[in-house]
């Protein structure tokens, strides 16, 4: 007769791999993975600075690097590229934070994965890999929290046609169909001042 497994014994823990994943998530390796984009940008800037420093002085290398960054933020297409990618990075962190704050995670604390996020015409589009125990309906019930966390107008959730564990979250920041320039009507001012016969300026 075999002895009954003791749930307090870590050797009998059915969630030992989940527990290990949580430890990695809270470790330095997990932090580096979550901030991999920022770390890559810092490493690229540092490598560029060191490469310039080999042929230029310390101050001149810093000036050249600052000019390159300024040009990237002045040229329209490069500014849009950098801004949209920055919003993608921010949205990825905020989506994961919503998963944690609304308890959309496994019993061991594992969060769903943001497999991919890219900019769209109205905001960002993120592909989520749901962990076991989390489904499309869970994310659909928290679209308000997702929109508020990402500083957006709204969040829309779509179900994948081929895989139930894949959910698409659309972060909507702007309305591309809205008028960019609204011309004020002079009728309202005339109704307020019926005695004013001065023609409006063209």
- pTM of this structure: 0.65
Interior angle at CA 146, CA 94 and CA 116, nearest 5: 60
Task: Report the distance separating Cα 120 and Cα 137, nearest Å.
Answer: 24
The residue behind tokens 């990402």 is 150
Q: What is the pLDDT of residues 18-31, one digit of tens each?
A: 555 555 555 566 67
Mean pLDDT in residue range 114-130: 93
Least reliable range by pLDDT among 13-22, 33-42, 65-74, 135-144: 13-22
Q: What is the pLDDT of residues 180-189, one digit of tens each?
A: 555 555 555 5
- The pLDDT value given to residue 11: 46
Strand order in the sheet with 123-129: 113-119, 123-129, 166-172, 154-159
Using 50, 70 and 90 to split pLDDT, how confident is the model at 106? Answer: confident
Report the percent of the chain where pLDDT is more than 70: 71
Is residue 122 within 8 A of residue 173, CB to CB? The reply is yes
Q: Which domains does the chain have, with CATH numbers?
A: 20-74 (no CATH), 86-177 (3.30.980.40)
Stated as kind and residue range, the H or E segment containing 131 is none
Most confident of 60-69, 73-82, 114-123, 190-199: 114-123
Which has more pLDDT, 102 or 191? 102
Task: Report the distance separating Cα 150 and Cα 98, nearest Å.
Answer: 9
Least reliable range by pLDDT among 3-7, 35-39, 45-49: 3-7
Which has more pLDDT, 60 or 94? 94
Task: Report the distance separating Cα 17 and Cα 74, nearest Å.
Answer: 48
| Helices (H), ranges, 26-142 | 28-34, 36-55, 58-74, 76-101, 136-140
End-to-end Cα, the chain, rounded Å: 97
What angle, 0 to 180 degrees and rounded to 10, lies between the N-to-C axes of helices 58-74 and 76-101? 90
Stated as kind and residue range, the H or E segment containing 199 is none
């Amino acid at each position: 007769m075999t002895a009954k497994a003791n749930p307090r014994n870590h050797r009998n823990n059915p969630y030992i791999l989940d527990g290990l994943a949580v430890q990695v998530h809270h470790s330095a390796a997990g932090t580096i993975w979550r901030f991999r984009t920022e770390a890559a940008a810092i490493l690229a800037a540092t490598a560029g600075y060191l490469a310039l420093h080999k042929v230029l002085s310390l101050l001149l290398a810093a000036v050249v690097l600052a000019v390159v960054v300024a040009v990237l933020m002045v040229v329209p297409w490069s500014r849009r590229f950098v801004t949209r990618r920055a919003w993608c990075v921010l949205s990825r962190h905020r989506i994961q934070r919503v998963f944690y704050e609304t308890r959309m995670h496994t019993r061991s604390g594992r969060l769903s994965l943001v497999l991919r996020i890219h900019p769209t015409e109205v905001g960002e589009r993120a592909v989520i890999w749901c962990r076991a125990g989390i489904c499309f309906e869970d994310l659909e019930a928290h679209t308000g929290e997702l929109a508020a966390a990402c500083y957006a107008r709204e969040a829309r959730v779509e179900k994948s046609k081929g895989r139930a564990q894949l959910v698409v979250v659309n972060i909507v920041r702007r309305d591309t169909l809205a008028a960019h320039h609204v011309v004020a009507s002079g009728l309202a001012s005339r109704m307020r001042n019926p005695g004013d016969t001065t023609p409006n300026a063209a």
